[in-house]
Amino acid sequence: MRWLSGLRPRLILAFAAMTIIGAAAAAGASYVSARNAILEAVQDAAMNQLKDRVAAYGRPLSTPPTQEQLNDFAGSLRLNAVAVYSDLRSANGPDLATFSPELRQTVANDFRIQFQRVDRGSIPELLVGLPVLARQPDGAMRNSGVEVYSLTSLVQQQQAIDELAKSAWQTAALVLPLAAALALLAARQVLRPVRALNTAAAQLGEGRLDVRLPAKGSDELAELVTTFNNTAAELERTVGELRAMEADARRFVADVSHELRTPLAAMNAVTDVLDEDAEALPPDTAVAARLVSGETRRLTRLVQDLVEISRFDAGRAELVLDEWDLATAIRDSLDARGWRDGEDLVTDLPEGVLARVDRRRLDLIVANLVGNAFRHGAAPVQVRLRADGDGVTLAVEDRGPGIDPQVLPHVFDRFTKADTARARSEGSGLGLAIALENARLHGGDITAADTGHGARFVLRLPHLPEGGTR
């Protein structure tokens, strides 16, 4: 029944059902009316004929009548009738057993003519009973005790009624294609603006905020179209403002970051000198010098990360691809930072795993993943390189406290800290976000998981990146 889930089939069924029910009700009402008219016509004719015949031939009948008089009286009626007086009945006419005791009791106790329709062996019949009245000496009419019962077959009338019923249902059946056509037309008229709204809503969801629909008429659908247009216009205005604000914010971060690079370079040169001469400085001055040196390096890393993020946001990040042995490239990145195999670092980097990568960006990814493991995890940190048919994977796993389930979904978000309770930490909160952007630039991805005894980050790279600029 899944095909009934659409609006079009339901509308068609609803319109068709309404039309068919209406046609069936009209046909049924016509049938009932015609049937009653046919039965009432034959019923009235039989009753009037019996009353007229009894009135014409019942006057010379004496009471109590003899058998011969009853026979003559019944025969003079020239109907399929039987005359009854007490235990006497006329020789001709239908069997008295045909007439129900209820009908005979009613005729005996009433002055009016009575009738009853019965089916005997699937043959419809009309039974009519009439008491014969006699005038008393005082002029009043009384029941003479003579009763007349007539039987009229309704076979022909029933056949006419059956033909009428057949015609009525055939007419109702002929309405079905008309009902389907009307339902299709009505559904089309209703669904046309709905389809237009659905298409416009899909385009709006794809980012075409300038989509609008023509509002025709003044019905509820026209009001819905007008509401959609107003909503789309307001959404376009709001999104435009947000995009402008976002562009301004990105430009501000990029400008500030670039402006800070020159003074930071000078500050780093000064702090390098202070670090070299720290031993010769007074103790308090040496502590202050080391503090300034550390904060300057931290600020330098933050500015570098912000510059890198701004390039991704502006769409100016480019790949310089070349084929590398990944084991060599990864080991060079580790050695450059003083991370060598030992108790704290365990590497499994098989030779011969080749891939086309941007060496600088791969270095940033490795530095961020392994550095994150050392800062927020615990030794030993394991680095494993594997190749498969789809590409290569680099897994970095530590033995630290792992990743909080509440932090895990947001671990690659910008400025996310492993310890949210601390306002400041050694990292900027941008390292993992930058690593993920670089992986995606290569056509790959990075996933994070909590192993129960630490954190695991897995870098996946294709053998041949889908995009990039050489």
Relative to beta strand 88-89, strand 123-135 is unpaired
* Predicted pLDDT at 212: 86
The strand order across the sheet containing 345-348 reads 345-348, 381-387, 391-397, 455-462, 445-450
CATH code 1.10.287.130 region(s) in the chain: 209-317
* Predicted pLDDT at 347: 93
Relative to beta strand 345-348, strand 381-387 is parallel
Each residue's pLDDT tens digit, 318-331: 888 889 899 999 99
* Predicted pLDDT at 209: 82
In this structure, which long-range contacts are made by residues 156-160, counting pairs with CB atoms below 8 Å and at least 24 apart in sequence? 157/38, 157/39, 157/42, 157/124, 158/124, 160/38
Cβ count near 106 (within 10 Å):
15
* Predicted pLDDT at 334: 93
* Predicted pLDDT at 245: 79
CATH topology of domain 209-317: Helix Hairpins (1.10.287)
CATH code 3.30.450 region(s) in the chain: 7-162
Q: Tell the residue number behind the tokens 């019965």, with chain if given.
A: 118
What residues of the chain score a pLDDT lower than 70?
A: 1-8, 11, 58-60, 139, 249-250, 252-258, 260-261, 264, 274, 307, 314, 417-428, 464-470
> What percent helix, strand, coil does the chain show, rounded to 5?
55, 15, 25
Question: Does the global pTM surpass 0.75?
Answer: no
CATH code 3.30.565.10 region(s) in the chain: 319-462
The hierarchical CATH code for the domain 319-462 is 3.30.565.10
Domain 7-162 grouped into CATH 3.30.450 = yes
Please check whether residue 383 is in contact with residue 419, taking contact to mean a CB–CB distance below 8 angstroms: no
